[in-house]
Amino acid sequence: MGIYYNKQNNMFHLQANDTSYLIKILDNGELAHGYWGKKIKSTELKDYHELALNPYLLSQKEGHSFAMDVISKEYPSYGNSDFRQPAYQVKLENGSRISELKYLEHDIFKGKKNLKGLPATYVEDESEAESLEITLIDKVTKLKARLSYTVYEDLDAITRSVYFINEGNEAINLSRALSSSLDFKDSDFELLQLSGAWARERHIKTRPLVQGLQAIESKRGASSHSQNPFIALLRDNTTEYQGEVYGFSLVYSGSFLAQIEVNKYSQTRVSMGINSFDFNWLLQPQEDFQTPEVVMVYSDQGVNKMSQTYHKLYRTRLARGKFRDKVRPILINNWEATYFDFDEDKILEIAKSGKELGLELFVLDDGWFGKRDDDTSSLGDWFVDKNKLPNGLGKLGQQINNLGMEFGLWFEPEMVSPDSDLYRAHPDWCLHVPNRKRSTARDQLILDLSREDVCDYIIEKISAILESAPITYVKWDMNRNMSEIGSAKLPPERQQETAHRYMLGLYRILEELTTRFSDILFESCSGGGGRFDPGMLYYMPQTWTSDDTDAVERLQIQYGTSIVYPLSAIGAHVSAVPNHQVQRITSLDMRGHVAMFGNFGYELDLTKMTTEEKELVKEQVAEYKELRKLVQHGNFYRLLSPFEGNETAWSVVSADQQEAYIGYYKVLAEANVGCRTLKIKGLNPEFKYQLVGTEKTYDGDFLMHIGINIPDELLNGGDFRSIVWKLKATK
């Protein structure tokens, strides 16, 4: 692996574990995209000069028949004879929108640099990765763009980002500044995206590519419930375990664009980055702009291998901090148990039952501050409500600690309720536009995090609370998207910077708080999974996956989420029945079996459970304690898709293949089912495995190729059935 430059034919070869990426500097100085896919062994690239060019064009000089339209580009500009979507666009003082970025210089070095002000994947040791920076310049304006690439040694992952700097004397408006663009020479792909809505996030959707534009995007100021900042292109006949897949994941939590354009020659351009809709960034002389990072993963062994690459990279080199490699506590959260209606006694009662059942962390959710008895007030007033908690948070935390549990707290720091002391004191601190209404959602407005003073205020207020009580966990919520986007602090020509400046402000707050309170485990949340993205994962190693806690619905949500995100990022709780979101009644067993494939917890009133139910909870908690290292750090395999049928199955296998944990779920009963087996992936065919809890042993290859029998009571036994198996190698 490594990055190679061939001077004779001006080509770069980026070689990761099993993938190659080729870039060529054309004679006219532009960058052509050569290839991305299965590894090419030769690093010399002697005979590869024809790549990137239509062969017949090779013989042409730039002139009357030199059409940029067929050339595969690496970071295309607007205004020339390439009529496809550009990667960036400028507006100059004289009204021109034309620019030409041409090669200036490059640098190849070990390791990886941080991105200015933005989350990104990283290395712990320089030997883990190699990076390439290619600097391009527009000679007329002296706008420079530095394209950054990193290849990881052990992974088929390549990261890309762009840094702009205006080295000229006139102002330049960047009206589009995407993070990456590349062209495939054909369009024989299916597009896979993770789409949905509140309470049904990240459902897998696919569609074939056709000539024209196809895109997913968010204009909401958050990555959103509707579309995750991720797409994959799948070759024909690609499945979970076979075929080529190209993944694109954006490390960003705001409005984004992932766009695919198929042109008249069936070539495919894939571009990704901050959404250029309602975006403009003014670069005065010497000012700069950093785009977020795109993480591109190649797999020639189906979608599952792509997911495992993302899982490994995001779990170990995107997530950070003390909790990255630690097993996570099993929590009890009071939200679905009490909503806003609680007092100190009620909280302590739930915490006490939690302790008796083996739970480790009590999380106090919304409603502990200001005068918040419903969702219409008090966001921004971060002082404890003495009516509910007369002894304050410090005392409550201590009492919970005395029970033998840790104490966690919910916040929604980015918001302000119009009915709050904060809003009455600072009505201009929210995102708004003069003389226009301020649309509320869930009765709240969004604080203007593009302002330094507002960010400083949040850091100070949240810090004060975190210092006032023995808090070891924070749930950081965010419950609405942006409307009337504008900032009282920015001049007119910078108003379209507001949404991205907000993200930079948010990232600064998170950097500051997670560094200052490095012993606290932070979990991100946005009305469930409205901001389940790599940007948030950089600061907070786990995310509340969805407000939908129904076990059946969760099969699709967690399955879809696992396409990109590791189980160590996926918050999954057992809640009460009838389920609060869909009214379905599923067994406590099944709810446990689904939630155990994530960061496990409970979200119900434990004090209302029967003795029998409590016994089962005790068993589940004890089982998860045994399993959690495997679940949180193992390799995940999807076995049966809830998007394709009535059954779902998945498993985790430890890196050394010594242990495996498998879940099988059947949603609706079917009549007269014969026998069925489930083939297990990822085991060692040479090992013998014991089915834990029985005397039975099976050979690894038997389990992988013949499979395990699904018990009859599951196949023929009614709706909402599930079973889990644990395998342990005996030699």
Tokens of 27: 């004679």
547 is catalytic: yes
Q: Does 544 bind ligand DGJ (CB under 6 A)?
A: yes
User: Residue 254 or 408: which CB sits closer to ligand DGJ?
Assistant: 408
Helix (H) or strand (E) holding 253: none
User: How many residues of this chain interact with ligand DGJ, rule: CB under 6 A?
Assistant: 11
Least distance in angstroms from the C-beta of 365 to ligand DGJ: 5
Report how far residue 572's alpha carbon sits from residue 711's, in angstroms, rounded to the nearest whole number: 26
| Residue 15 Rama label (left phi>0; alpha psi -120 to 50; beta) | beta
Q: Are strands 268-274 and 172-184 parallel, antiparallel or unpaired?
A: antiparallel
Binding positions for ligand DGJ, 445-504, rule CB under 6 A: 477, 479
The answer to the question of residue 565 lying near ligand DGJ (CB under 6 A) is: no
Question: CB under 6 A: which stretch of 269-277, 347-355, 525-533, 660-668 binds ligand DGJ?
Answer: 525-533
Query: Under the criterion CB under 6 A, does residue 366 sit at the interface with ligand DGJ?
Result: yes
User: How many Cα atoms occupy the beta-carbon half-sphere of 670 within 13 Å?
Assistant: 13
Cross-strand pairs, 251: 293
Strand locations in 62-128 (E): 88-92, 102-110
Rg of the Cα atoms in the chain: 27
Q: Which CB atom, from 543 or from 654, has the smaller least distance to ligand DGJ?
A: 543
Point out the catalytic residue in the list 366, 547, 548, 550.
Answer: 547
Find all residues with CB under 8 Å of 656, minimum gap 6, and list them.
none
Query: In the annotation, is 477 catalytic?
Result: yes
For ligand DGJ, give the closer residue by CB, 335 or 661: 335
**What angle (nearest 5°) sits at the alpha carbon of residue 229, between those of residues 447 and 335?**
55
Q: Are strands 599-603 and 331-333 parallel, antiparallel or unpaired?
A: parallel
Nearer to ligand DGJ, 86 or 527 (CB): 527
Cβ nearer to ligand DGJ, comparing 413 with 527: 527
Closest residue to ligand DGJ, Cβ-based?
366
Cα 82 to Cα 101: distance, rounded to the nearest angstrom: 14
CB of 600 to ligand DGJ, least distance (A): 16
Q: CB under 6 A: which stretch of 162-170, 503-511, 523-531, 651-659 binds ligand DGJ?
A: 523-531
d(CA 465, CA 140) in angstroms, rounded, equals 53
Please tell me whether residue 707 adopts helix, strand or coil conformation.
coil
Q: How far is the CB of 237 from ligand DGJ (least distance, A)?
A: 39
Q: Which amino acid is at 692?
A: V
Binding flag, residue 130, ligand DGJ (CB under 6 A): no
To the nearest whole angstrom, how small is the minimum distance from the Cβ of residue 417 to ligand DGJ? 12
Residue 197 CB coordination number (10 Å) = 11
| Shortest CB 568 distance to ligand DGJ, Å | 19
385, 419, 477, 548: the catalytic one is 477
Stretch that binds ligand DGJ, among 522-530, 661-669, 706-714, 722-730 (CB under 6 A): 522-530
Closest to ligand DGJ by CB, 528 or 663: 528
- The site string for ligand DGJ over 297-336 (x = CB under 6 A, - otherwise) reads --------------------------------------x-
Instruction: Render 43-69 in DSSP notation, one character per residue.
Output: SS-TT-TTTTS-HHHHTSPSSTT--GG
- Please report, as residue ranges, which positions from 330 to 349 form the binding site for ligand DGJ (by CB under 6 A): 335
Q: Which is nearer to ligand DGJ, 149 or 335 (CB)?
A: 335
Whole-angstrom Cα distance, residue 448 to residue 88? 27
Nearer to ligand DGJ, 21 or 369 (CB): 369
Query: Which of 262, 256, 184 has its CA nearest to residue 227?
Result: 256
Query: 641: closest CA among 206, 28, 62, 1?
Result: 206
Half-sphere exposure of 638 (CA within 13 A, CB side): 30
Contact window for ligand DGJ (CB under 6 A) among 397-405, 524-532, 582-590, 654-662:
524-532
Q: Please work out, in degrees rounded to the nearest 5, the angle formed at the alpha carbon of residue 580 by the alpha carbons of 577 and 584.
A: 50
Q: Of 206-214, 521-529, 620-628, 721-729, which segment contacts ligand DGJ by CB under 6 A?
A: 521-529
Which residues are bridge partners to 637 per DSSP? 651
Amino acid at 226: S
Give least dist CB 551 to ligand DGJ, A. 17
Indicate if the alpha-carbon torsion angle 92, 94, 95, 97 is positive or negative.
negative
**Distance of closest approach, residue 449 Cβ to ligand DGJ, in angstroms:** 19
Nearer to ligand DGJ, 19 or 378 (CB): 378
| Shortest distance (Å) from residue 32 CB to ligand DGJ | 46
Region from 156-164, 520-528, 554-562, 627-635 binding ligand DGJ, contact rule CB under 6 A = 520-528
Structure tokens, 554:
């969760």
Least distance in angstroms from the C-beta of 565 to ligand DGJ: 17
User: Should residue 547 be labelled a site residue for ligand DGJ when binding is judged by CB under 6 A?
Assistant: yes
Contact with ligand DGJ (CB under 6 A) among 128, 365, 406, 659: 365
In the region spanning residues 399 to 418, those forming contacts with ligand DGJ, defined by CB under 6 A, are 410
Asked if 369 interacts with ligand DGJ (CB under 6 A), we say no
Nearest to 556 by CA among 84, 197, 292, 39: 197
Contact of 285 with 265, CB cutoff 8 Å: no
Q: How far apart are the first and last CA of the chain?
A: 34
CB nearer to ligand DGJ: pick between 193 and 526: 526
Residue 273 falls in which region: left (phi positive, over 0), alpha (psi -120 to 50) or beta: left
Cβ of residue 603: shortest distance to ligand DGJ, in angstroms?
8
Q: Which of 491, 379, 363, 369 is nearest to 441 (CA)?
A: 379
CB 396 to ligand DGJ: min, Å: 18
528 is a contact residue toward ligand DGJ (CB under 6 A):
yes
Residue numbers annotated as active site? 477, 547
Sites of contact with ligand DGJ (CB under 6 A):
335, 365-366, 410, 477, 479, 525, 527-528, 544, 547
